[in-house]
Amino acid sequence: MSVVVRFAPSPTGFLHIGGARTALFNWLFARHHKGVYRLRIEDTDRARSTKQAVDAILDGLAWLGLDWDGEVVFQSQRLERHAEVARQLLAEGRAYYCYCTPEELEEQRERARAAGKPIRYEGTWRDRDPREAPAGVKPAIRLKAPQEGETVIQDHVQGEVRVANAQLDDLIILRADGTPTYNLSVVVDDHDMGITHVIRGDDHLTNAFRQTQIYRALEWDVPEFAHVPLIHGPDGAKLSKRHGALGVDAYREMGYLPEALRNYLLRLGWGHGDAEIISTEQAIEWFDLSGIGRAPSRFDFAKLDNLNGHYLRQADDERLVALVVERLEAELGPIGPEGRSRLLQGMAGLKARAKTVAELAASARFYVRPRPVPLDEAAEQLLGSEGRAALLSLMPHLAKVEWSAATLEAEVRREAESRGVKLGALAQPLRAAVTGSKVSPPIFEVMAILGRDETLGRIEDALRSAP
């Protein structure tokens, strides 16, 4: 039997990190089994679903590289089919009309709460004669769920989970306005789409019981389930906007690479021995449901940063230049071919030092800034009067040397030696004057990339700016 899975977000907000991981797991599972991975937008909440949210989800998935198979299914376009199934259950006597008003139901809930009993529908209309129906009340349709025994699900992550049917109530499958409710829609769509494995967040575990009851009433095959533990914030509490319940676009904005996020998300809740750095190809080969852990996990930016740094160092220079230019242009205006060329030459030295694209852009800024390059506080301190004096006396030597990283370094080393100072005594002021900062890629490499005129010009600027 071929595997068919789906990712089914509801477009009431952005694609958050938990959803991204669910999508990743489904995608990996499908690719591993050479099956089908589909996307279904659960937009039946007409009031809260927005086009922007749908776009954000689609964009987020595309950025993450989780391509789906076939057409996107919009649940809102299948309402008629869902209603038809509800009516079928009604006709078969496996569902019934319920004439309770929302107020009555609220009273029932209150009563149950007060009595310390499970909060559930009392079954008021389950066996009542519909002829007693109050006039003018539009009924909802409820599933006639089993009252005895228990409902059991075999979960690939949680194992066998069972709950007494007495805990469950007769859930509404079709609202009074004729629209289907979530659990019915999910069951009908999963069935119609031929979904074989439902991999989703653990918060759906209890829905699995209700959905199982609907499957049974319909005499349809129940799919395999895998409920993945949720992702918590660093403090162990529910993810909040402060620490991780951000849209994937926010991670992109912070400068994370999609391949790094994929690797991080994969390892968050799934393991394969000691493997940490896992390429997507390798992940497809290895991914299995049994590797999913059963405990919730916490989101940790430090580890994501580390992974991102790894993938950054691995990334193609041209690609990184494009990402950096995009950010730098937003800040400094258009960057010409010369600037791009410097960035490309300097990228190897730059990317070895960054954790995120944002950091990369910040540290690359000096390559494309127009003179005079502003000196930050640390650079100013490094220069001081001694630093400037050192640079001044170094100028003639720099002016005459052949302009390459190796010759520049050799010349400055020779000078340091003859002056009886450490290389740093000359290199640091140079770095400060040329980059405006005390931290940069190797300074002779920087000088070589910048070229003789630009470098000497910057040094002169720094000398002139003496306080």
Partner RNA sequence: GUCCCCAUCGUCUAGAGGCCUAGGACACCAGCCUUUCACGUUGGUAACACGGGUUCGAAUCCCGUUGGGGACGCCA
Contact 170, 145 (CB under 8 A): yes
Among 2, 77, 107, 118, binds RNA (CB under 7 A): 118
Q: Which of 1, 91, 135, 295 binds RNA (CB under 7 A)?
A: 295
Rounded CA-CA distance 188/190 in Å is: 6
Among 124, 165, 282, 297, binds RNA (CB under 7 A): 297
Residue with tokens 């400060």: 432
> Which of 387, 410, 382, 389 lies closest to 398 in space, CA to CA?
410
Q: Is residue 288 at the binding interface for RNA, with CB under 7 A as the rule? A: no
Q: Of 2, 70, 92, 117, which one interacts with RNA (CB under 7 A)?
A: 117
Q: How far does Cα 353 stand from its chain's mean position?
A: 24
Q: Determine, following the binding rule CB under 7 A, whether residue 269 of this chain makes contact with RNA.
A: yes
Active centre residues (catalytic): 241
- Across the beta sheet with 197-201, the strand order is 159-164, 150-155, 224-228, 197-201
Span from 21-29, 128-136, 272-280, 338-346 in contact with RNA (CB under 7 A): 272-280
- Strand pairing partners for 97? 141
Give 253-258's long-range contacts (Cβ < 8 A, gap of 24+): 254/356, 254/358, 255/308, 255/356, 255/357, 255/358, 255/359, 255/360, 255/361, 256/304, 256/308, 256/356, 256/357, 257/308, 257/311, 257/312, 257/315, 257/357, 258/63, 258/64, 258/65
Nearer to RNA, 273 or 467 (CB): 273
Q: Supply the minimum distance, in Å, between the C-beta of residue 464 and RNA.
A: 23
> How near is the Cβ of 247 to RNA at its closest, in Å?
16
Q: Which of 216, 298, 369, 452 binds RNA (CB under 7 A)?
A: 298
CB of 336 to RNA, least distance (A): 26
Q: Does residue 105 bind RNA (CB under 7 A)?
A: yes
Nearer to RNA, 37 or 169 (CB): 169
**Minimum Å distance from CB 33 to RNA?**
19
**Judged by CB under 7 A, does residue 274 bind RNA?**
yes
Note whether 120 binds RNA by CB under 7 A: yes
Residue 415 interacts with RNA (CB under 7 A)?
no
Instruction: Count interface residues toward RNA (CB under 7 A).
Output: 92
The residue from 54, 176, 250, 362 that contacts RNA (CB under 7 A) is 176
Which one of the spans 13-21, 248-256, 286-294, 336-344 is the region binding RNA (CB under 7 A)? 286-294
Binding pattern to RNA, positions 321-360, x when CB under 7 A? -------------------------------xxx------
Q: Select the residue interacting with RNA from 22, 26, 75, 212 (CB under 7 A).
A: 75
d(CA 34, CA 217): 32
Closest separation in Å from C-beta 433 to RNA: 12
Q: Does 424 bind RNA (CB under 7 A)?
A: yes
For RNA, the closer of residues 118 and 338 by Cβ is 118
Is 296 one of the binding residues for RNA (CB under 7 A)?
yes
DSSP state of 403: -
Q: Which of 1, 91, 302, 330 binds RNA (CB under 7 A)?
A: 302
Kindly state whether residue 109 participates in binding RNA, applying the rule CB under 7 A.
yes
Q: Which amino acid is at 447?
A: M
Q: Which of 20, 24, 57, 98 binds RNA (CB under 7 A)?
A: 98
Which of 98-102's residues contact partners 24+ apart within 8 Å by CB, and which partners? 98/124, 98/125, 98/139, 98/140, 98/141, 98/142, 98/170, 98/172, 99/125, 99/133, 99/134, 99/137, 99/139, 100/124, 100/125, 101/137
What is the closest distance, in whole angstroms, from the C-beta atom of residue 443 to RNA in the complex?
Answer: 4
The answer to the question of residue 167 lying near RNA (CB under 7 A) is: yes
Binders of RNA in range 438-467 (CB under 7 A) = 438-445
Does 305 engage in binding with RNA (CB under 7 A)? Answer: yes
Residue 319 binds to RNA (criterion: CB under 7 A): no
User: Which residue in the set 30, 56, 172, 188 belongs to the binding site for RNA (CB under 7 A)?
Assistant: 172
For tokens 């009595």, the residue is: 115
- If one asks whether residue 370 binds RNA (CB under 7 A), the answer comes out as no
Residue 284 to residue 34: CA distance in whole angstroms? 10
Residues 183-242 that bind RNA (CB under 7 A): 183, 185, 202-207, 229-230, 232, 236-238
Could you say whether residue 423 binds RNA (CB under 7 A)?
yes
Residues within window 20-49 making contact with RNA, judged by CB under 7 A: 42-45, 48
